[in-house]
Structure 1
């Protein structure tokens, strides 16, 4: 794995130049808006904007490919589960029923159900690019200093920075342990069957957990020896003021949220109904 997944890469793009606080506020408002509304028109516009923003970041596909595939697997499972447990929820939601095909028993595929699950899929597609960007384009140290600047305790901010920095370390530890296991004949490559590969991967999780615990203990001891948490305030090596790009990004996400809520609740309901 030559490229670390979900690790920060310093690229000179408008997205990378935003401060950590801007990215956090943008992500929170964007995610809340996408979760609350069910207006297909607004979700489609937000999807286009999120893809444009993600494209602007120029993040290599290798950095998020595995996580993206994993999210897609859970997305498919979620869509199937929605239909299995609530096959007529769309009918109840939109107040009409247009059958496509009767499958068996209470399972009837309707246009209303398809439309509802299409909106759920749009929600995933709108939030996932921004969520990945938040992890991939945020410098942990700069993000911690930004959080502290808006009033978050520097202890909490520093904990967040350590957590973000720890993602590549865990990946590196996993690779080292996996290489050692392969040298002893424990193969986790595609040469093995899927069941055998999963079993072998599980067998190396315990050394990974022990290595992580040992690393946490060392970091905690080092921070304690340096008097971390003794003072109420601290200075930061990386701290940046808001610039024009930050204000533009915040104006954009606020406008998207306000317009989306206005359009969605114009008729008193957050569900856009094309069957009326």
Structure 2
């Protein structure tokens, strides 16, 4: 496996988030996710989304590195919203108790309550995006594995996580290589190479060689680890391991405060779906 493959995901930098302990960033991501799913309130999501964008900008991760994942989530959010509006055009009324028809569908009517619910749900998904991108692109796989082991995760499992992070770029490159080879042999997947179903069928032919190549990579890595005696000891050292800094402990405290504050706010004021036009 290429030792630099992990760097293809990791965006090197000197920001505060790059220096942050990998396990701390994972805890931040988990707390952020829990807090997001506690609420169904557009006001909360607006504040969290703004804070997440500020943190992502402060990390100075190049925009070209995040644009693909950003686009995929936006497309998923749009498709999800369309399905909700088509299948349950009056679902918002079950949350608010009111019904304000807006858009006729022929078989039913989309109401304002459902439109606002879809907007709120989309904001919930987008709220998770900046902090997820921050975790992915500022966390070096080896440092993350060392941090997990430091938190008590068995080193075999931590190393498996590191290998998974490192193998994703290799898998992507292998997919491109196989696709290019098939295209050179006349396999059409472009817009002008036939109808959509034919292009999808041609694209599916990549799966078998990609699976075979992946199994070969797994066998090579397994043999290399066996030859080096991986797993024979109960503990191991980490070349990329670093002690937890004072700033990391401060972030952990802030995560705990955020979680407690969210739970208290949920029970006190933000109990259900917020709809401002009731």
TM-score by length of 2: 0.89
Asked if the contact 2:155–2:235 (Cα under 8 Å) also holds between the matched residues in 1, the reply is yes
Tell me how far 1:6 sits from its aligned partner.
7.0
State the 1:84 CA deviation: 2.7
What SS class does the counterpart of residue 100 from structure 1 fall into? strand
Counterpart CA distance in 2 for 1:5 and 1:34 is: 30
In structure 2, what is the equivalent of residue 207 of structure 1?
209
Q: How many residue pairs are counted as aligned between the two chains?
A: 273
Cα distance, 1:253–1:193 mapped onto 2, change above 3 Å: farther
Mapping 1:251-270, distance limit 5 Å: 251-267=253-269, 269-270=271-272
Question: In the alignment, what sits opposite 2:182?
Answer: 181
1:100 corresponds to: 102
Could you tell me which of 26, 29, 35 is aligned with 1:27?
29
User: What secondary structure does 1:15 align onto?
Assistant: helix
Mapped partners of 1:161, 1:4: distance in 2: 9
Larger mean Cα displacement after TM superposition, 186-195 or 82-91: 186-195
Spell out the pairing of 1:6-25 with structure 2 (5 A cutoff). Answer: 7-25=9-27
The one of 57, 78, 81 equivalent to 2:80 is 78
Q: Which runs of 5+ in 1 are unaligned?
A: none
- Provide the rounded CA distance (Å) in 1 between the counterparts of 2:199 and 2:20: 41
1:134 is displaced (CA, Å) by: 1.7
The CA distance in 2 between the partners of 1:274 and 1:175, in whole Å, is 49
Q: Which residue of 2 aligns with 1:51?
A: 53
Contact 1:6 1:136 in 2 (8 A): no
* DSSP 3-state at the match of 1:16: helix
Aligned 1:111-260 pairs, distance under 5 A: 111-189=112-190, 192=193, 195=196, 196-260=198-262
* Aligned partners of 1:4 and 1:171 also within 8 Å: no
Moved more, 132-141 or 241-250: 241-250
Give the superposed CA RMSD: 2.4
Measured after TM superposition, the shift of residue 166 of structure 1 is: 0.4
TM-score, normalised by the number of residues in structure 1? 0.89
In structure 2, stretches of 5+ residues that fail to align are none
